[in-house]
Structure 1
Amino acid sequence: MKDFFKRVYTVIEMRTGFATGLPVLSAGLFGAYLKGDLNIPLLVLMFISGFSFNIVANVANEIRGYLKNEETDETMTGHKGSEGLSRGDAKLIDAIIALLIFFILGGASGLLIVFITKDLLILLIGILSALAAICYSLGPKPYIVYPVGELVSGIFVGGVSSLVSAYIQLGELNLGVILYAVIGVFMTIFLMAANNTSDYNKDKVHRVTLPHVIGFENSIKIILPEGILMFFSLVSLTVLGYINIALFLIGTFCMYYFGYVKWYKDYKKIKAPYKEMAKEWGPRPLLLIYSFNLLMSLGFVIFLIGGLI
């Protein structure tokens, strides 16, 4: 059993699983901050569901890469949390079992949320999200092979999960929830874009991604206007009174330091893809996602507690 978990770890891409789980946590706490009350069971269940379905998408991608022989010694990053099937660290049956476990875990958590809230709209969204996680890489028309993968992932992984998480805490959708979800959309797009840009040459054989359509250099440059739109959402949240100045400064610091200083400032200078690109630059958008959502979550908790005292 111990060896099984070791093998499974090599195909689930845990670090990108948290790239979904943390925005769900952050958005849920944002909804609680707006309402002035926190429903902890719903927050935990939503975190588990969002995290689990992201792992499902990750494992589905690993299975596809293995079956299509997409990875070679030249393209693998060497990250121990992924590419396990291609390296031979895990077997196909391990990946299938992992996919089923996380699918059941995510589905069960989602059904519990529906049972507690009695909201059938959440059930419908959950079903669509589950299908999106599977169809991301598997099925007759996996959207990972088309230049819409970044957008679809951004909408479902960053946007829909954040909307639902905030909605079940607040009890309604408002402009503030939508604006906060937009930030999650762009951060997820950043993550997908960095991966697709790094895999520019490798993907040419198996799929057509957005960088292939707009060109390698443009796939890097496009991050800047996307980042501006993301920051505009944060500004709008502040101007409209959904967050205070302290939370605005926290978000701005994360976007500037982890988005620009630690990532885009040097990233924009790259003129052509190279072998180590994914390993060197893939974690950068993760740092942005982690820092923003963790620090904003902490801020929401502090001001929520302060408002209750």
Structure 2
Amino acid sequence: MKKNNFLKRIYTVMELRTGFATGLPALSGGLFGAYLARDIKILPLVLMFISGFSLNIVANIANEIRAFLKNEENEDTFTGHLGSEGLVRGDAKFLDAIIALGFMLALGGGSGLLVVLITKDISILIIGILSALAAITYSLGPKPYIIYPIGELVSGIFAGGISSFVSSYIQQGKVSIEIILYALISMIMTVFLMSTNNTSDYEKDKGVRVTLPHVIGFRNSIKIIIPEAIIMILAWIALFLMSKISLIIFISGLLIFYYYGYVKWYKDYYKIQEVYKEMGKEWGPRPLLLIYSFHFIMSLEFLIYTILL
């Protein structure tokens, strides 16, 4: 990698792939709200996607900066994921990370402010400010919540739940039980992602931060996904029984849960008895694939139903 290329340098600290873990819930949540209202507000939908994606990248860069400042990473702890750990490896400079952080914060915040101007809803502004603060204080500040065993829950609430909820709310024009249930599903999927990363970093994080796996134990951090998954599936079933999603959409969701949630991930993930060096690289992308597939396919189906039916 040519270190004199600014764009290539900042790419190594952004971990763009996980930005979609917030952007896609905002997209599918918005299209779910449009599906319920039978009408699409295109500009707020696009702006919510940009805002959610950008703020996730802000959290990623903040995490990179913390790892660099606190010397939390080295060659033995690198995951090898593309687009990450570049600041610690030396591919990027500290100033590069600061510039990227400021730009993505401005992009996410600016998109959010445009949504507020369009909707004229002050509650969205308040939620947006809290979301931006959560993205930054995830890793930076005197009391970053990444070092406490609440990181998975807080990330799930802001990265998955709130992005989906607000986007749905804008499209439907009201708070309803159905958009809360859909946001709950999005939140739990994000918790899966954070949980898998924390479990994979069980040994690496010792002495640096106290995550939920350290509190409940390595094996329990794998087993706790079972009740979380049950809640997620029950929320999906509730949406169908309430006649808020069609039979085709309902079946599609169940198939995605089964294939990408169980077959491609949890079936073998559950068998792991102790942490190993390559665990993060091998298992970290699995719940991300579940997030991608669910929100992308749901977005397409909601869009088709809204436009054609």
- TM-score category (smaller protein): over 0.9
Q: 1:45 offset after TM fit, Å?
A: 0.4
Matching of residues 189-268 of structure 1 within 5 Å: 189-268=191-270
Per-residue Cα deviation, 1:36-94 (whole angstroms, up to 9, x for no partner): 00011010000000000000000000000111111111110112210001111101110
Q: Which residue of 2 aligns with 1:21?
A: 23
Matching of residues 70-81 of structure 1 within 5 Å: 70-81=72-83
1: CA distance between counterparts of 2:211 and 2:302? 37
Per-residue Cα deviation, 1:135-155 (whole angstroms, up to 9, x for no partner): 100001000000000000111
Q: 1:2 offset after TM fit, Å?
A: 7.7
1: CA distance between counterparts of 2:69 and 2:291? 30
Q: Which residue of 1 aligns with 2:144?
A: 142
Counterpart amino acid of residue 164 in structure 1: V
Q: Which residue of 1 aligns with 2:123?
A: 121
Q: Which residue of 2 aligns with 1:181?
A: 183
Counterpart amino acid of residue 26 in structure 2: V
- Residue 45 of structure 1 pairs with residue 47 of structure 2: yes
Q: Which residue of 2 aligns with 1:56?
A: 58
2: CA distance between counterparts of 1:133 and 1:102? 11
Q: 4+ residue stretches of structure 1 with deviation over 4 A?
A: none
- Residue 270 of structure 1 pairs with residue 272 of structure 2: yes
2: CA distance between counterparts of 1:230 and 1:80? 30
- Residue 302 of structure 1 pairs with residue 295 of structure 2: no
Q: Which residue of 1 aligns with 2:110?
A: 108
Matching of residues 77-92 of structure 1 within 5 Å: 77-92=79-94
- Residue 5 of structure 1 pairs with residue 7 of structure 2: yes
What SS is found at the alignment partner of 2:244? coil
Counterpart amino acid of residue 35 in structure 1: A
Counterpart amino acid of residue 249 in structure 2: L
Counterpart amino acid of residue 300 in structure 2: L
1: CA distance between counterparts of 2:135 and 2:4? 27
Of the candidates 132, 135, 139, which is equivalent to residue 134 of structure 2?
A: 132
CA RMSD of aligned residues (A): 0.9
> Where does the alignment leave 5 or more consecutive residues of structure 2 unmatched?
none
What SS is found at the alignment partner of 2:204? helix
Counterpart amino acid of residue 273 in structure 1: V
What SS is found at the alignment partner of 2:83? coil
Counterpart amino acid of residue 60 in structure 2: N
Q: Which residue of 2 aligns with 1:168?
A: 170
2: CA distance between counterparts of 1:8 and 1:232? 41
2: CA distance between counterparts of 1:278 and 1:269? 15
> Normalised by the size of structure 2, how large is the TM-score?
0.98
